[in-house]
Structure 1
């Protein structure tokens, strides 16, 4: 009986060595460290070879004292060694995905050896049942869209699952209005913990209540974005990342930017243009350096909620003026230079000339949706106008933005609105 136990253990050692060699080869191709996946409790990813050796040493040590252990103790040791081996495989697969996903839309390729030939792919409007279809879908998207893919987090989420959260902006360049389709959500990968092969890829979109294929809600979400005709001028704008895209609004992370600001007269409505001429004079030479600077977008207005009155108008400055000392001083003392810090904000978009009642209506709608979804909208809001006066109303881009208090990213499962079935 002891001989059989020793033989069984040696076979496990041999299998573990094969897996160690396999993952060492994989790391030689994907060597960059990804910050997303938590390491094994015993080691970081950079120390992964040591993890393999410890797993192997444990298995080999189980062989030596076989004569001193009963069958139950040997079985317990083998189970623990197998648990560690599978934990290592899942953690390695997680880190591999953190690297492979970043290359996915840059090169239109995947590391095929890590994906099962029978991998299933499913999102609300697409489904494939083999690796060829999976690769075809990636290449098809790259052909027709300019894609910006942001990977926020990748983590082992179960004994055989890895979950990634992401944002993707897809500019469809084949039509004159060049619509940008934005999707955020999570991908759940099912993994064989014995081999590390990825068996399935299922996408869940934040914008949908029903994510299963084929989703009518998903088709409507795509079509609505495709037919969105508002134009965003091709000039400099504050940089932000869309973190969550819902059906009617989105949550953004804004990077810091510089503004020139002027106060607006009392009684100025939420869509008032008072202050625009003063800021334009400053921008086009009304400063101590007599320097004409470039126009950017959008024009912001800060709005006080109790009276829905505009309190200040802001022009965004070019990013080369991140240092306020480099920004020319205004000749008009009513103009102030300010640095807006990084922030989280929710945004809702609408077209047309932004009339006072439309601004107020969109603010109320956005605030109600945020409260409904468990977020904490701050007091006050902003109107953002992106287009010059010559742009036709039907294709003008306007937004109402509300800062979010207490928002943390990435969201925890306890605070994030549930979207998975």
Structure 2
């Protein structure tokens, strides 16, 4: 499971697009960062205490670099570089098992055909002399189904490499299930749960984030900085309330110094005070605020027109790591508090700590039926780094 910081397994390496010179007298861990990471791909070398030198074979290093490039395009093109895989390659994940390169290629093509795929490669690591491990997140929008559900998985792939650098096996494990054996009932149930998820996400602009981990009960996200219009809600309000909406709507629909109308975005955030209790009790000091996310075309707060109302503030929010738990319904106070309680318990089980207070994100218009609504509780993580 994911802890506060993801470490390469002790004793072997992760590889970037170029190879660093390696001293002969020390054991190496070399880390590869994917193109979508916060910084460009680079090689990090960490010394271990072992007195022996354990460099991975050049063929395994070459396989790691190949996979780093291959996985950037494989789901966009639907094609594999067949010469780098064994004819009898064995693939297994919790719902699929094949043992032929033609079936492996057909699987990749089927994924590209049946789904709109977004694949984020987080890390490529040499974990054994003959093994390369990748860490990833993958979303699959089933566009042919009428309700177009999006399946979201994260996990690790273990690639075995022979002495010539050919990939002979590929095994996936998912973060959302404990039993990753083939045809695990838990995994089948997870796929069905996601396929039957009916919540609607409007096609509006939303804050940019990357899902780093899709666990059973929550998503771990890295949010990029974004700008909001914010107003304090009346004393005694809870995040599930709606007071403040009209003030913010007035601002974006022309109630500003430029009489400028702005596009609607999603979600509407309401945030409890940082001093609030774990169950969302907002009786402590501080204020409950409501926020509208503003369009990305505004790169800086100073580019925004001044609000006509003194109740409305413009605010730049920094990037952050958050855990998010989704639920449907009206988002009544008791539903929100229950979602927060369950999320904190799931994070504690995985060794993660969240700050006091929480945010409620509501994505839909008031007339959307409760079973189709997308609501989320978000908790900002404490002292979290990735990787």
TM-score by length of 2: 0.84
State the partner residue of 1:314: 291
3-state SS of 1:204 partner? strand
Picking from 335, 357, 365, the partner of 1:358 is: 335
- Distance in 2, matches of 1:89 and 1:397, equals 47
Unaligned runs of 5+ in 2: 1-14, 25-29, 31-52
1:20-419 aligned at under 5 Å gives the runs 35=16, 39=20, 41=22, 87-192=57-162, 194-304=163-273, 305-306=276-277, 307-308=281-282, 311-410=288-387
Q: How much has 1:313 moved relative to structure 2?
A: 0.3
Q: How much has 1:39 moved relative to structure 2?
A: 4.3
Q: How much has 1:409 moved relative to structure 2?
A: 0.8
3-state SS of 1:379 partner? coil
- Distance in 2, matches of 1:267 and 1:308, equals 8
Q: How much has 1:308 moved relative to structure 2?
A: 3.1
CA contact (8 A) 1:349 1:399 kept: yes
CA contact (8 A) 2:238 2:288 kept: no
Q: Deviations over 1:192-234 (max 9, x none)?
A: 1x20010100000001101011211111111101111000000
Aligned length: 339
Q: How much has 1:42 moved relative to structure 2?
A: 6.0
3-state SS of 1:132 partner? helix
3-state SS of 1:320 partner? coil
Q: How much has 1:322 moved relative to structure 2?
A: 2.1
State the partner residue of 1:55: none
CA contact (8 A) 1:37 1:155 kept: no
CA contact (8 A) 2:200 2:372 kept: yes
Cα 1:135–1:328 change in 2 (3 A) is same
3-state SS of 1:321 partner? coil
3-state SS of 1:407 partner? coil
1:1-12 aligned at under 5 Å gives the runs none
CA contact (8 A) 1:36 1:155 kept: no
3-state SS of 1:94 partner? helix
TM-score by length of 1: 0.78
CA contact (8 A) 1:37 1:91 kept: no
CA contact (8 A) 2:239 2:289 kept: no
Cα 1:268–1:36 change in 2 (3 A) is farther
- Distance in 2, matches of 1:392 and 1:35, equals 48
Cα 1:160–1:176 change in 2 (3 A) is same
- Distance in 1, matches of 2:386 and 2:160, equals 25
3-state SS of 1:231 partner? coil
By relative contact order (CA 8 Å, sep 6+), the higher-ranking structure is 2
- Distance in 2, matches of 1:119 and 1:97, equals 15
